[in-house]
Chain A
């Protein structure tokens, strides 16, 4: 799944630490996201995945260390400027207030539009283009809450794409989706042509989709690198406490590209 990538980093995280009420949530995290990369973030529950992403999308201020976007510390960007570079897809979705799918997608225009401005014809065609891209154009006028789980997630990705970001952050984008939608959402994210940093619970999905993996445990980065080398039975037993075999299998329709495949042996590591 490796692509030829430019080596310059879009995002650099240096020695990042986060401490909340005397508890270390993250400590000494270092990594880079390079141009064109799809980076998967793994770790057991409570490992600090969401907190790390929150620091990057500026919902949490780190206690120590620094995060740089295009070589500039992220706190030097204004809120709007940062939102033009970094878009985020979370689990939050607007379930009430009878919002139409079109209106939810249009929220992606927020960082680009000055106060009081209306939605122009060009904006409308951009919205239709992203809706078409995620296959929801025919549902533009429907109420958002009437969409299925997979459609909601695709709509939220379309909303993020309207921000025209360089980096797309996704926090567990495939939770609660069935296996077909999981692959569909991931393929969609990969095809957008932007850097992606996504946290996962499904290790097989993360291994198959990512160019680079980050593995967190107790707020510290345990391993990082290419999925075929990072995902090993030793790491799975250390980080997740499970017994598993890791083999390497080709992906559908491409015998040359090998991805890790994990087979769990039920029962725990003693």
Chain B
């Protein structure tokens, strides 16, 4: 497909998705009213308040989370040249969850910057351990990183389970609800942090696009193209851990997006191009907007956990794409 067509299609889809995300829900609001609320906000009107104060920040957070996780996945897959890499595989998410659960259990804090801080410290802990293990063997850096990531992921999950085991039932239900993922904590006061981190990551990814692409050739070849491979890999790992940490802190555990979205986009457009990276981020966001719409509207008067839907829709969609692709390959 032509790149411009894909780009136009994604933007149109994004606009339509935002429109639906703002209009659909317990109170259905029509197209014109959504625009009216956005352009001429009247705080006395209930539907306006629902749209601007509840649905808009929530939709923006969902979009940011989707784009951010898709980018984190793309970065990790690129720097490790492993198509199965995602924040969950490297223990970054488990580290972030560990930080948040520890803070929950110790202080009872369930929102705010402290949560992001705890998630970031947790993921930084995981990332530092990963780097210490991977640094010692530069020739097999990728392999040791992957193995260390899996081990760390289990280690942090074990620690998190232990905290849950010792916590009181009320804290356990709060923690479990949090780990299933939700965008309901979105509000205008805290939205700047994920927005800043996601925009910064997109900027860095576009800035270092060529160097990231060159990593796909292999470490030695990338070095011969003038790239400081170790430095690039470590800074990109830090960037993806920052992204994951902030998003995990805001939305809880939302798995599978980082792994799946870059793969789906790769079926249609090469990730090596400027538009490929942009469309990956955009598609992640659009996907998550629809996941949130589904979470709010599948069951009456009840919200489904976002993490459950991403995993369910994602895996089925991904499997069907794989089957379709295998069929078309068999026809050739």
Interface extent on A, as a size class? 35 or more
Q: How far is the CA of A108 from the CA of B209 in the complex (A)?
A: 13
> Are A88's CB and B221's CB within 8 A?
yes
List residues of chain B with CB within 8 A of the CB of A118: 274
List residues of chain A with CB within 8 A of the CB of B193: none
B136 to chain A, nearest CB (A): 13
List residues of chain A with CB within 8 A of the CB of B47: none
> Are B220's CB and A99's CB within 8 A?
no
List residues of chain B with CB within 8 A of the CB of A97: 77-78, 81, 83, 216, 266, 271
Check A139 for interface membership: any CB of B closer than 8 A.
Answer: no
Check A181 for interface membership: any CB of B closer than 8 A.
Answer: no
Q: How far is the CA of A177 from the CA of B285 in the complex (A)?
A: 45
Interface extent on B, as a size class? 20 to 34
Q: How far is the CA of A113 from the CA of B209 in the complex (A)?
A: 11
Interface centre among A58, A83, A163 (most CB of B within 10 A): A83
* Known contacts A96-B83, A97-B266, A100-B270; A58/B223 CB under 8 A: yes
Q: How far is the CA of A146 from the CA of B292 in the complex (A)?
A: 39
List residues of chain A with CB within 8 A of the CB of B273: 103
A96 to chain B, nearest CB (A): 5
Q: Which of B81, B226, B272 contacts A96 (CB 8 A)?
A: B81
Within 8 A of A (CB), among B210-227: 210-211, 213-214, 216-218, 220-221, 223-227
> Are A79's CB and B266's CB within 8 A?
no
* Known contacts A97-B83, A110-B210; A79/B226 CB under 8 A: yes
Q: Which of B208, B214, B224, B272 contacts A59 (CB 8 A)?
A: B224
> Are A80's CB and B221's CB within 8 A?
no
B74 to chain A, nearest CB (A): 10
Contact with B along A99-142 (1 / 0, CB 8 A): 11001101111110101101000000000000000000000000
List residues of chain A with CB within 8 A of the CB of B216: 94, 96-97, 99, 107
Q: How far is the CA of A93 from the CA of B222 in the complex (A)?
A: 11
Knowing that A82-B226, A110-B213 touch, tell me 7 more A-B residue pairs with CB under 8 angstroms.
A58-B224, A59-B220, A83-B226, A87-B224, A88-B220, A110-B214, A110-B225
- Taking Cβ atoms with an 8 Å cutoff, the residues of A that contact B are 54, 57-59, 78-84, 86-88, 90, 92-94, 96-100, 103-104, 106-111, 113, 115-116, 118, 163, 169
